[in-house]
């Protein structure tokens, strides 16, 4: 029986080979930057989902790997740009690409990865694939712009937050599932089911990630409370702020807007979020999306022959729910 772990171990080398082949076709000035960025680990979640959905729907051709790799190229490109905007020091446990190769070079390499990914997708000759991936890139940019525009701002609810994470995270995961179903010539209902599964999985993935911002760095490998320092109104911070008395809440958001918290201030927020269970409450929001994802998957697999791929897609839901890093 193929489990999620064995599937990842089986498919990652094939995806990595497709990524290496694509990187080798880039111009000489870009190649080492792309190779460094794409070689810095990563779960390969998006391309794995493309392969999984295609296999679930009976697609056996190995040309699914270059298509899946294009999704990872898009993802890595957004990470390169994101790290430049955040002036991040590290990515996936290694020195951030722009700290190694320079800011301008990294931005341009990210642009080249987007172009190369689009070239790969266009090579399949299916306008549905090109339209889907182009839309995902635009939605990702929209999510990032929304996040910048709302940095340090208070909000009466989590509506803007949901719009931000739908763009910057969920849409690319949605599209990874969509193009797998499209390439497999799924029925309109199957394509819709795979697409909705990906969107709900992606929303949950980012919400859990924002809960993990308050987990011990010994577990995550990331600094704790980064969203507090950066003025990002994620659910744990929203719940924390709304637990304060009005005067305290106003004072909190004044410093939130200025991004002027001391380490001691951030530590207090982290400790309170944990003590009051606001991180667990955030995971509860993720669970609503994961339940929807399971409903989407049940509809997608209805009438299909028994397959380990459906079980692995269910395992992905459990992986997102329980992830601690």
| Angular region, 44: left φ>0, alpha ψ -120 to 50, beta rest | left
Q: Is the same domain home to 168 and 296?
A: yes
Q: Which domain holds residue 231?
A: 127-324
Per-residue model confidence as pLDDT tens for the chain (325 residues): 688 999 999 999 999 999 999 999 999 999 999 999 998 778 899 999 999 999 999 999 999 999 999 999 999 999 999 999 988 887 877 899 999 999 999 999 999 999 999 999 999 999 999 999 999 999 999 999 999 999 999 999 999 999 999 999 999 999 999 999 999 999 999 999 999 999 999 999 999 999 999 999 888 878 899 999 999 999 999 999 999 999 999 999 999 999 999 999 999 999 999 999 999 999 999 999 999 999 999 999 999 998 999 999 999 999 999 998 8
90 DSSP β-pair partners? 95
Distance CA 113, CA 323 (A): 29
Last residue of a domain, one of 109, 125, 141: 125
- Annotate 126-150 with three-state secondary structure: CHHHHHHHHHHHHHHHHHHHHHHHC
Supply 262's token pair.
């001391």
Distance CA 238, CA 244 (A): 10
CB 300 within 8 A of CB 194: yes
Residue 221's pLDDT is 77
What are the phi and psi torsion angles at 154 (to 5°)?
Answer: -80, 165
Question: Residue 33 maps to which CATH number?
Answer: 1.10.600.10
Distance CA 268, CA 184 (A): 51
Last residue of a domain, one of 125, 157, 190: 125
Supply 319's token pair.
């992986």
Q: Is the same domain home to 196 and 110?
A: no
Residue 167's pLDDT is 98
Last residue of a domain, one of 82, 101, 125: 125
pTM score of the predicted model: 0.96
CB 254 within 8 A of CB 264: no
Residue 188's pLDDT is 97
CB 56 within 8 A of CB 35: no
Q: Is the same domain home to 7 and 103?
A: yes
């Amino acid at each position: 029986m193929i489990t999620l772990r064995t599937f990842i171990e089986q498919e990652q080398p094939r995806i990595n080979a497709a990524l290496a082949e694509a990187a080798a076709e880039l111009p000489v000035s870009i190649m080492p930057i792309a190779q460094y960025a794409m070689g810095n680990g990563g779960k390969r979640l998006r391309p794995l989902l493309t392969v999984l959905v295609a296999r679930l729907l009976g697609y056996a051709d190995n040309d699914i790997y270059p298509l899946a790799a294009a999704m990872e190229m898009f993802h890595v490109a957004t990470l390169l740009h994101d790290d430049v905007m955040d002036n991040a020091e590290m990515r996936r446990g290694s020195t951030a690409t722009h700290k190694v190769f320079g800011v301008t070079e990294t931005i341009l390499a990210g642009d080249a990865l987007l172009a190369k990914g689009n070239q790969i997708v266009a090579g399949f000759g299916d306008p549905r694939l090109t339209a889907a991936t182009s839309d995902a890139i635009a939605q990702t940019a929209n999510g990032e712009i929304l996040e910048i525009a709302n940095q340090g701002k208070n909000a009466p609810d989590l509506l803007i937050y949901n719009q931000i994470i739908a763009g910057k995270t969920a849409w690319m995961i949605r599209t990874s599932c969509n193009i797998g179903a499209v390439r497999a010539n799924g029925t309109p209902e199957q394509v819709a089911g795979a697409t909705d599964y990906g969107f709900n999985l992606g929303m949950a993935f980012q919400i859990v990630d924002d809960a993990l911002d308050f987990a011990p760095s010994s577990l995550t490998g990331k600094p704790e409370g980064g969203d507090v320092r950066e003025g990002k109104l994620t659910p744990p911070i929203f719940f924390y702020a709304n637990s304060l008395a009005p005067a305290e809440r106003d004072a909190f958001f004044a410093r939130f807007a200025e991004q002027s918290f001391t380490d001691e201030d951030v530590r207090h927020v982290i400790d309170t979020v944990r003590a009051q269970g606001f991180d667990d409450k955030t995971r509860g929001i993720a669970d609503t999306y994961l339940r929807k994802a399971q409903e989407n998957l049940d509809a997608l697999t209805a009438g299909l022959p028994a397959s380990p791929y459906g079980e692995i897609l269910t395992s992905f839901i459990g992986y997102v729910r329980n992830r601690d890093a």
